[in-house]
Amino acid sequence: MYNRILGGLIGAGAGDAMGAATEARTTEQILETFGHEVTDFEIPPADTFGAGNIAGQLTDDFSSAYFVAKHIVGNQGEVTRKAVQDALIEWSEHPEFFDRFAGPTTRLAIRRYKGEEIEKPKGVKLLSRQATNGAAMKISPVGLLNAGNVDQAVRDAVTVTMVTHDNYLAISGGCAVAAAVSRAVMPDADVYNVLQAGLYGAREGERIGREAGRDVAGPSVVRRMEMAIDIGLGRGTAKEKMAEIGHRIGAGLHISEAVPCAFGFFAANEGDAMGSIIGAVNVGYDTDTIATMAGAMAGAFQGAESFPKHFLPILERVNHLEIEKLARDLTMLAKQRLTVWKSQNKEDI
């Protein structure tokens, strides 16, 4: 379990850092800029959000997931609204991660938690601009913590998502990723049951979100996931599927593009960790976020040894993070929680 949890963390971090170099470009522009597909850490060009980062440096995606995980560990594995709020406040005090990269929905929520008075918006107050991927990008540690217990992963994902993105579409997307990661960590995981867990999480998240969250306009995460998975499992090479997913599903900020896109790459590469990340990094648009989610799922599925040996030390050194320690802490808690859950349900996973 430790190997898979560490793999989930490395995959999410590597996806974020690799995607930082390609974000906002098209596939064609990525090839023109770098002269090749991006398959390793690169220095982000001067005209991207990641300008000024060195190779392997994170943006807001995995960095926020790291702080959420760290605070949940500090809370003895209990996923509470307060623990998530505290995590985001601490994260916001690291300008290298927060100042240039954090999205507007997350920024607004953190300002509230810091005690700022937020002026009520005038005019249109609908939430369509808040159905973004800012919660799903940091949700994977919830799946790692709840290894094998998909329903608890969904419940905890709702808690985390509601802190910043309290609408049913964002909740659906966050639950999809958490559920898939929860299933991927288990030794009997295969591509099919990981995808099925993701679809189950999306449906449950939508159901719970309609009751607990706010309504919002936008395409169904579940239906877009079904489309993306169909493409991923269909005919063609991984590169052909990458292009098809990018054009038909989209690779943008909206939760109904980003999450289905990540699942499409997991399916298209049959759960291969580096293949899933490379597809997400080179599809263009919101590459760092999509690669973070795809990397978390595929890394948890294949384990830490599926990545080049230099990935982990670079991620830890340039970002000043203790990823191995976090993996050990999450593994200890995940094993404890799984044992308790099995004893309560008197069944084997």
In a domain, 156, yes or no: yes
DSSP per residue, 85-138? HHHHHHHHT-HHHHTTT--HHHHHHHHHHTTPPPPPPPS----GGG-BSTTGGG
In a domain, 232, yes or no: yes
DSSP per residue, 14-30? HHHHHHTTTTT-BHHHH
In a domain, 161, yes or no: yes
* Structural domain containing residue 326: 2-116+130-345
In a domain, 122, yes or no: no
Q: What is the pLDDT of residues 266-310, one digit of tens each?
A: 999 999 999 999 999 999 999 999 999 999 999 999 999 999 999
In a domain, 255, yes or no: yes
Q: What gap in Å lies between CA 71 and CA 79, rounded to an integer?
A: 9
Q: Which amino acid is at 348?
A: D
Cβ pair 311, 295 in contact under 8 A? no
Which residues are within 8 A (CB) of 165 and not within 5 positions of it... i.e. 6 or more apart?
105, 130, 131, 132, 134, 135, 171, 174, 255
pLDDT (0 to 100) of residue 115: 76
Q: What is the pLDDT of residues 70-91, one digit of tens each?
A: 999 999 999 999 999 999 999 8
Tokens at residue 95, please? 């300008």
In a domain, 123, yes or no: no
Domain CATH for 335: 1.10.4080.10
In a domain, 124, yes or no: no
Q: How far is CA 238 from CA 108, 190, 279, in A?
A: 38, 19, 8
Look at residue 196 and give its three-state secondary structure.
Answer: helix
Q: How far is CA 156 from CA 84, 174, 258, in A?
A: 11, 10, 21
pLDDT (0 to 100) of residue 271: 98
DSSP state of 49: T
Domain count, the chain: 1
In a domain, 69, yes or no: yes
pLDDT (0 to 100) of residue 349: 43
Indicate if the pLDDT at residue 347 is higher than 90: no
Q: What's the pLDDT band for 118 if we cut at 50, 70, 90? A: low
Indicate if the pLDDT at residue 124 is higher than 60: no
pLDDT (0 to 100) of residue 235: 96
Q: Which of 169, 95, 101, 112 is nearest to 135 (CA)?
A: 169
